[in-house]
Each structure stands twice: as C-alpha cells, then as structure tokens.
Structure 1
Amino acid sequence: MVKKFSIWFMVLLVILLGGCAVKQNDSTSETPVQEQEPGITDDTILIGSNAPLTGPHAAYGACITNLEAYFKKINDEGGINGRKIKLVYYDDAYDASKTVGVMKKLVEQDKVFLTVVQGASPCAAVVDYLAEKNVPMMAITGNSQILTYQNAFEILPNFTTDGTVLAQYAVQKLGAKKIGIWYQNDDYGKEDMEAVKAELKKNGLEPVAAIPYNMSDTDFSIPVMQLKELTPDVVILIPTTKTGSAFMKQAYDLGLKTQFLVSYTSADLSVSTLAGPAAEGAIFAAFFPLLDKDSDPRVKEHKDFVAQYSPDKTPNSFTLYGQLYGEFIAEALKRAGKDLTREKVIEAIESMKNWNEGLAENVSFGPDQHGPGGESLYFIKLENGKFVRIQ
C-alpha cells in the first residue's frame, strides 16, 4: 500500500512539475526578447561606405576619410545618445561594379546599420539592393535617379539643377550663342548634359557639340580639336576635378580659346594647381562657402576641424563634403532617438525642415522629398589661382 502511494505521488509530482515547466515555456514564448537592429549595440552605431581610395578619382576618397574624422569628433564630444559611431569602408576605385560587392559585404557580413554611398554610378548600381534590404542610404551625389527610393537621401544639389543653371548662365549672363558640351559618360555626366540641352532648347538653341569621355581617358586632343574647329563662345565642362583639369590644360596647349563654364562637382582649388594658367578665368557653379574667406565663421570652423582631426589634409571641397555628411548623419541619428531603428532614422530625416547647422543652409526633406536637401548654387571664377565669387 505504501509502495503504491509512493508511485502515485511521484507520478503526480512529475505531472505538476511538467505542467509548470510547460507554462513557464509558454510564458517565455509570449514575450520574446526584442532583437537589436543590425549595426546597433548598447554603445556603438556601425555605418558602412564605399570609397574611391585608388584609381583616377582617388581625390574623392577624402570625402569618406574626412567623414570618418568627423565621426571621431562626434565621438570625442560624447557620441549620439550614448553611442559612438564607427565607420567601416572599402575601396571601390569609383567603379560601380566593385561598389556592388562592397555593399553586399557591408550589409551581409559587417551588418552595418546604414550606408554612405559615394558617386553617381555607384549609387545607381546599389540603390535597388539597399532598398530591398531596407538599409538607409546617404548618397554623396546629385543623381536624381535615386530620389524615388524610400530609403535613399541626397543633400547635394542634383545634376539636373546643375546643368540647368550652367546653361542659364551661359545664355543669360555670358550671352553665348554657340555652346559646346564636354561631359563624363556616366549617370552624372548624362543627367547634367541632358539638363543643359533642355535649357538651351527653351532658349531656341542647340549645342554645337556634346562630346562624351570615359573615366579612363587621359588624351583629350581629339575633342579639343573638334571644339576648336567649331569656335564655341562657351564650353560647358561636366567632369571630375582631375579629368577636367587635364582637359583644360590640353585645350590651352592646343590653342582652344573659349570660356569654360564648369559643373559644381569640380569646384575645387586643386584645379588651379593641376591645370595652372589653363584654368585661369574658368567659371564654376558652387554651393559651399569659399575656403579663402576666413571672415566666414563656417570656414574658420571647418579649417579648425581639419587641422585637428585630418592634419594630413588641406581643406578643400572634398573635406567639406565629409563634414557636411557627418553633420547630416549625426543630426538624423540624434533625432531618431535612443531606441534606434532604420525606420526611425528615415522618419527623422523626413522631419527636417529648414535645417541650418554647420555647413547646411535651409535643408529640408519630407516623405515625398528625399533630396536634394539644398539647392542654392552661385558662381565663382578662378583669378590668380583663387576663387572669386561673381554671383
């Protein structure tokens, strides 16, 4: 009898304990622990980027290395809502086919929270992938193609705006009737060139020539001689800084006498160093403060920042890009709050209205406006190796 009672007692005990265990497991399954967003820990925000550190456009790599320097400044000041920013980037040599692999590595292996993508064609090559993965994309470009994507944002003037104002200036301010176009044969150059042609058409004009070049080209004697025969009043250049400088130098050597009007993407004093007297008198679209105007507090602040955090660099338009995007991303993260999600960052950027801090001027976004965040362009002229504002 005692033995039977003991057996039944043990069976009952097992049932009761099993029931508790099941109940405890059920309770756990009802309130799972929420997983952290990719790239976010209690003390770190991981951001990924491509960077043209090698190749013919390696000068643009300073945008990303100076972005990294700006994040160091942010971290030294306490970070964003208790977290430090870490930037990881890989060289893609400004080659869109390589950018695809870089972004996949950043998203799938490094597990970054958001990305910074530099270059018109690199942006176009990866925007679909990043949208599919729901990864926010801060695009260092003026490529209008990406503005319809919910995850992508630009803060630079778009290339359609650039081409439009270049054509307007050529016709309205310079009184040009014969206008040539020399442009980079990629997403950047084509968008800018089409905008120039559209604006000229509004004025009853057609370009005397629209000549493309490839990024690997170094000999521009043929297009120079083609333009020389056409005797244009103005030649609108839509290049990168180094290539545009080489073109002007060869034009000078071959006797092409015309007024050069240049895209804002090449508005950097390195043009004067690279092209020498060939660049004198060239007019550029621009939107950054002139770095030789030390009376501008933004210029002094930028120079002080570069001296402290990027002492191996000379302040230029590329270091300005780095600071501008650093300020932009820091503001977005700050507005998104402590409990960071990618959706909250997107909502935070869309909430920006007339933001004026650091290098930003009246930057606004919205659910249907993902860029450009700022569009104010003016014109500068190279005189005695310095930029002079003319409009």
Structure 2
Amino acid sequence: MPLREDDRVPKFDTRMANAASAQPTSARPPIQGVTDTEISFGMAAPFSGPAREMGHQLKLGIDLAFAQANEEGGVHGRQLKLYTADDAYEPTRTLNAMKELYEQHKVFGFVENYGSPTALISVPYALEHHALYFGAFTGAPSLRHDPPDRYVFNYRAGYAEEAHALVNYLVKSRKLRPQEIGVLTQQDAYGDAGWEGVSKAMHGLRGGVGDAFRMSYNRNTVNVDEAIAQLRRQKHAIKAVVLVATFRAAAKFIEKTRDLYPDMIYATISGVGSTGLASELMVLGPRYADGVICTQVTPAVDGYASVTLNYKKALDRYFPGEPADYSSLEAYLTANILIEGLRRAGPAVDTESLVDVLESMRNYELGVGSRVSFGPSDHQALHKVWGTQLDKTGQYHAIDLE
C-alpha cells in the first residue's frame, strides 16, 4: 500500500541530513537502478500482438531522448538505459512484465508504459514498491486521482479532456446535436475512460439529455460486426462516431460503415495511434482516410515547432529511416521532461528526492507552446489538446477545435 503523507519522507535531524548530502555518491546507500555510471528505467508495453507497433514507437521515442542525453554526457555523468518487457497489451501478462523489470533488471522506475487496462495492474505494483511511474501512454482517470498518487506522473492530456474537446467541436463547429453522436469503445478501461469523457461532455452541453449511443468490441481484435449491427438498429440518425479504439479496429469500423453511411463523421482520440490509423486507411483507399479527425497530445509531427524539428533531426541522426510518428514524439517529449527532472534532482538522486523536484517544476519550456508544470496537487504536465484531420493523401492537417 502507498505510504501515508506523513510517512513518505523520513524525518532526519537537519545536521545529519546536510552531512549525508555532502557525502560522495559512492558513500551513500545503494539506490536500485542507480550506479555511478548509469540510471536504468523500465517499460512494460506490447512488443508482440496486434498493438506491437505502439510498443515499437514508444520505445523509439524514449531511446531517442536517452541517446541524445547520453551523447551529451548523460545526467550528472550517468548514462540512461531503458529495459523493456512485453505484455502484448494483455493485463494478464502485465504483472510478470513489471516483475521482470523491477525484480530482475532492478530498474529505478518506469517510463511510458502502454495502456489503460494494463495500468490497472502496473500502477498498483509501482505504488507498492514506491517506484516512479512516469508518462504512461494512457489518458485514463485511474492515473489521475485527486489528490494524485505520489509516484505517478503524466505527460498527456486525459482521455476525458480529449473527448470533451471532440464533442464540443462536433456540436459547436459541425453543428450536430449531442444525440446524433455515437461512441465506439474497446471493452476495457481504455474504452470506459473515453466513454466517460464523451458522456460528461454531452451532459454539460445544452440539450445533452441522456447518455450517448454506445457500441463496443473486444480488445486485441478487429471484430466490430456486432457494433455495426447495433448502429444499424439505432432508430434515430447517428451522424458522427467517436472512436475510442486502437487503430486496426478503428480502421475496420470505418471500412465496414463508409458505404452504409457516406456522410458519417469519424473522430478519434490520440490513444488510437494516429500514424497507424492513417496507414491502415490509406491501404483501403483515399476515401476512407479523407476527413477522419484525430485529437493529439503533441504538436503536429509535420509542423515547425522547435521541439518537433529537434525530434526529427534526432531521428535522422540516431534512427535513420524511421518516419516521424505522433506516438514516438509523445514518448520523446515525455522522456525529455523526465531527464530535466533528473538533472534538477542532482547527483544524489533517489525516488523521493526526484518526486519532490518534479512537484516543484514550474513553467518548464519544452517547446510545445504550453509550458510544463507539476505540483503536489497536479501530476499532469500538459492539458492541451490539438486537433488534426486526415486528407485524401493520408496526411494530418491542423484544425481548430475551439
């Protein structure tokens, strides 16, 4: 169980604490995952199964940021290292993946774990061991408690924030009535989080009476036939569908409904894996991609934000041939915030001191437009949601969600 607030930081005599901090690193008690030359982190993510491309992209983004930092001398002379463990996006495999990382590889903490249903397993494990759980690829509310769990920090906007932005855009800019918006959800914590966000947004709008029409499918499948049957049985017209899905299932749903509903508006949240979605739709043909909306939690990968240009320059240097991708960009940004926290924590880093430093981070300039801030009551770096829309060539273009 997590420690109580009063138990989190041991109470030392001030003179003893000052004396301890003045000792060389080698004289301090050993910290798991930290040596004189290295700090190691772990990532539990899918490296097999239908979601394996997401695992690849997230690892790529972390490796990219770590490679840059390491070439510049590391953090206080220590090189950064990433270990990965494959859970295939199946919660039944997540605990073993976490144990492999923490108990076998002896990592310092976790960075960019993937998934909402898997987080229901991995977050309690990290909290039980008082280990940092930083920047997971999920916008689920289980990682956004109020007050926040001490060791859990997020980079991205929550799924509720993305869903709220989408619903407001569909109603205010596309002039739909709330009851004309349906939702396709994955049957797990990811789908539930997106559904709750859409429902909350609808109830906050004038005329938003009752819940949205909901369809669902099983995780790690593309079996959306029953969802489509539900849509066809719906008595009143559905003019837009918010897809809280992974990219293969989302693409399959669009493929099977495009001819049935040629004027349907399809809108997804960033958890879909937007680059994968674009690729899947372009295989089907330009008309399947054209007009599909996707919210993002980073600036455009084809834009000219300084951090995006630095990211793409680093891609060319360290991983030539790898295309720019929203997921790897997100992981790259996440890792850079973590690296900044490690630098500020100083050479005598441990989990408690790093958490204290992160909670004191204010207005850090990451290069995304909004500055990064954490606090004891807010462990989410950014709340901004960007809007993008696919064209017939499979390229995303910025749209104004306001």
How much identity, in percent, do the aligned residues show? Answer: 26
Q: Aligned partners of 1:89 and 1:229: how far apart in 2? A: 44
Aligned to 1:172: 172
Q: Which runs of 5+ in 2 are unaligned?
A: 1-22
How many aligned residue pairs are there? Answer: 359
User: 329-338 or 240-249: which moved more?
Assistant: 240-249
1:9-63 Cα distance to aligned partner (Å, 9 max, x none)? xxxxxxxxxxxxxxxxxxxxxx9x6421111111111111112111111111110
**Superposition deviation, residue 359 in structure 1:** 4.6
CA-based RMSD of the aligned residues comes to 2.1
Moved more, 79-88 or 236-245: 236-245
Choose between structure 1 and 2: higher helix proportion.
1
The secondary structure found in structure 1 opposite 2:92 is helix
Task: State how 1:192-341 maps to structure 2 within 5 Å.
Answer: 192-203=194-205, 204-205=207-208, 206-207=210-211, 209-230=213-234, 231-255=237-261, 257-266=263-272, 268-276=274-282, 277-293=287-303, 295-341=304-350
Query: Aligned pair in 2 of structure 1 residues 233, 308: CA closer, same or farther (>3 Å)?
Result: same
Match of 1:129 among 125, 130, 151: 125
CA–CA distance in 2 between the matches of 1:254 and 1:220? 14
Aligned to 1:377: 385
Change (3 A) 1:171 1:318: same
CA distance in 2, matches of 1:198, 1:51: 29
CA shift for structure 1 position 200: 1.1
| Deviation sequence 1:68-94 (CA, Å, 0-9, x none) | 232122111110011111111111111
SS of equivalent residue, structure 1 residue 118: coil
Q: Distance in 1 between matches of 2:272 and 2:45?
A: 18
Seen in structure 2, the aligned counterparts of structure 1 residues 167 and 161 have a Cα distance that, compared at 3 Å, is same
Shift in Å, 1:333: 0.7
Q: CA, structure 1 residues 225+60, in 2 after alignment: closer, same or farther (shift >3 Å)?
A: same
Q: Give the alignment partner of residue 140 of structure 2, picking from 140, 143, 153.
A: 143
CA–CA distance in structure 2, aligned partners of residues 196 and 225 of structure 1? 21
CA distance in 2, matches of 1:356, 1:125: 33
Per-residue displacement from partner, 1:223-266 (whole Å, max 9, x unpaired)?
22432453312111111222212221222254464111211223
After TM superposition, the structure 1 stretch with the greater mean CA deviation from structure 2, 221-230 or 38-47, is: 221-230
Residue matched to 2:193: 191
Distance 2:212 2:69 in 1: 50
Unaligned runs of 5+ in 1: 1-30
Q: Identify which range, 340-349 or 254-263, moves more after superposition.
A: 254-263
Q: CA deviation at 1:101?
A: 0.9
Q: Deviations over 1:118-148 (max 9, x none)?
A: 2112222121221111111112321221233
The residue type paired with residue 374 of structure 2 is F
CA distances 1:325-368 after superposition (whole Å, capped 9, x unpaired): 22011111111101011111111111111211245731111111
Tell me, what secondary structure is at the counterpart of 1:82? Answer: coil
Pairwise CA distance, 1:312? 4.1
Structure 2 residue identity aligned to 1:239: A
Which one has the largest radius of gyration?
A: 1
SS in 2 for 1:175: coil
2:395 counterpart of 1:386: yes
Which secondary structure does the structure 1 equivalent of 2:274 belong to? Answer: coil
CA gap of 1:135–1:269, structure 2 versus 1, over 3 A, is: closer
